[in-house]
């Protein structure tokens, strides 16, 4: 693993002076973060010194062992004590989470809304997942990220697919979540160091009441087996124009939430938004799981990771409250 620092005046490999690297991602925080720790010395005048700044001209890049870029981002924070200096950088998606906009979209797809947001906020669009579902969307004082996710949430209600944005080589991609599966199956006999498992019905929804705009009931969508086993947990859905209410209501049903986490040897493609195969004898976790969050740590020549796993493929849904 190599760390490259660059600004308008120079670019240098600082791997030799980096003590610890933490690379993290989360499906609900979106922008991936790189944190590096560099030892400092006030007494050793021969100790290497690098002066860092903040902002768009101050860049950290991480390359894998094959020289392929896995992170490129801007330094947002730096702190220092008597033993070390810590730098925190975020990939360009951070600007979509911090910059707000207001715009009305009519009869347009989520993918075209995304390209419009990119153009408006100065982000380069890359491979944008197609939905081919036209919609109307009113984004008032929403961040660019919220606007994109409102559009893809509307599409997801109709096609059942899950989406998330991701920076890839400086460009914004929108991927269909869970379709990329990590190459290595994690096995408790080889890779997994510890694991945990939990399940809950706190957020279960097993019946949807479909109403018209006057509150009159026009239909139901339910899972009778869930109601029998766990009791009635009901939500109301008001029919929206240009959406099939039965499809939307069916997609609103929410099963038992099962979550797990593992600590394991690190693999670069185990990242939020991807899926991973697990075979763990201690918890009985076997099968394909969706990665909600990941923390990769590089220290003392070791690469380890902590993964938050989900049994269901979920997305960071953002509701278009103004849509009728």
Residues 218 and 248 in one domain: yes
DSSP bridge pairs for 235: 208
Q: Is residue 155 part of a domain?
A: yes
Determine the Cα–Cα distance for residues 305 and 76; give it in Å rounded to an integer: 23
Q: What pLDDT sits at residue 46?
A: 64
67: containing domain? 2-90
Q: Is residue 138 part of a domain?
A: yes
Same domain, 6 and 125: no
Shared domain check, 122 and 62? no
Contacts with 298 (C-beta within 8 Å, 6 or more apart), sequence order? 1, 20, 21, 22, 23, 266
What pLDDT, on a 0 to 100 scale, did the predictor assign at position 51? Answer: 80
List the pLDDT tens digit at each of the 324 positions of the chain.
999 998 877 889 999 999 999 999 999 988 999 999 999 876 666 666 778 888 878 899 999 989 999 999 999 999 988 889 999 999 999 999 999 999 999 999 999 999 999 999 999 999 999 999 999 999 999 999 999 999 999 999 999 999 999 999 889 999 999 999 999 999 999 999 999 999 999 999 999 999 999 999 999 999 999 999 999 999 999 998 878 999 999 989 999 988 899 999 999 999 999 999 999 988 889 999 999 999 999 999 999 999 999 998 999 999 876 544
Burial of 323 (0-12, 13-18, 19+ CB in 10 A): middle
Please check whether residues 124 and 48 belong to one and the same domain.
no
Same domain, yes or no, for 105 and 165? Answer: yes
Alpha helices in 41-167 (DSSP H): 93-98, 110-121, 144-159
Residues 287, 300: one domain? Answer: yes
pLDDT at 43: 66
Domain CATH number, residue 298: 2.40.30.150
| Same domain as 156, residue 37 | no
Do 189 and 261 reside in the same domain of the chain? yes
- Domain boundary residue among 90, 108, 141? 90
- Whether 321 is in a domain gets the answer no
Q: Which two tokens stand for residue 282?
A: 């201690």
Secondary structure element (H or E) that encloses residue 248, with its range = helix 245-252
Q: Is residue 141 part of a domain?
A: yes
CATH code of residue 129: 3.55.50.30
Beta bridge partners of 60: 5, 73
Are 6 and 45 members of one domain?
yes
Rounded Cα distance, 143 and 33, in Å: 19
Q: In angstroms, what CA-CA distances link 286 with 195, 210, 256?
A: 12, 37, 17
Residues 190 and 264 in one domain: yes
Q: Where a domain ends, among 90, 114, 148?
A: 90
Do residues 15 and 63 touch, judged by C-beta distance below 8 A? no
Indicate whether 247 and 261 sit together in one domain: no
Does residue 75 lie in a domain region? yes
301 Cβ contact list (under 8 Å, min separation 6): none
| In a shared domain, residues 30 and 126 | no
- Indicate whether 61 belongs to any domain: yes
Position 55 scores a pLDDT of: 86
What tokens appear for 39 in the block? 């030892």
On whether residue 317 sits in a domain, the answer given is no
The total number of structural domains that make up the chain? 4
pLDDT at residue 321, as a whole number: 61
Asked whether residue 40 is domain-assigned, the answer is yes
């Amino acid at each position: 693993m190599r760390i490259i620092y660059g600004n308008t005046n120079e670019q240098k490999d600082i791997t030799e002076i980096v003590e610890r690297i933490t690379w993290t991602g989360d499906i609900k925080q979106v922008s991936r973060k790189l944190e590096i720790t560099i030892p400092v010395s006030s007494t050793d005048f021969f100790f290497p010194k690098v002066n860092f700044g903040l902002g768009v001209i101050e860049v950290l890049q991480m390359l894998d062992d094959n020289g392929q870029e896995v992170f490129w981002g801007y330094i947002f924070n730096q702190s220092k004590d008597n033993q070390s200096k810590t730098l925190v950088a975020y990939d360009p998606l951070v600007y979509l989470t911090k910059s707000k906009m207001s715009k009305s979209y009519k009869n347009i797809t989520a993918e075209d809304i995304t390209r419009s947001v990119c153009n408006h906020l100065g982000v380069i669009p890359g491979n944008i997942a197609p939905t081919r579902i036209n919609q109307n969307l009113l984004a008032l004082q929403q961040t660019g990220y919220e606007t994109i996710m409102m559009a893809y949430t509307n599409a997801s209600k109709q096609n059942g697919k899950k989406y998330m944005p991701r920076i890839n080589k400086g460009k914004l991609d929108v991927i269909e979540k869970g379709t990329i599966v990590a190459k290595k199956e994690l096995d408790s006999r080889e890779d997994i160091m510890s694991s945990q498992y939990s399940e809950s019905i706190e957020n279960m929804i097993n019946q949807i009441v479909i109403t018209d705009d006057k509150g009159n009931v026009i239909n139901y969508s339910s899972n009778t087996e869930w109601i029998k086993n766990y009791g009635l947990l009901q939500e109301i859905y008001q029919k929206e124009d240009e959406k099939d209410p039965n499809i939307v209501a069916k997609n609103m049903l929410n099963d038992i939430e099962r979550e797990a986490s593992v600590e394991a040897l690190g693999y670069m493609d185990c990242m939020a938004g991807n899926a991973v195969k697990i075979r763990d004898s201690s918890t009985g976790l076997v099968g394909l799981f969706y990665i909600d969050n990941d923390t990769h740590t590089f220290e003392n020549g070791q690469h380890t990771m902590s993964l938050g796993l989900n049994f269901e493929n979920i997305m960071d849904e953002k509701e278009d409250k103004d849509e009728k």
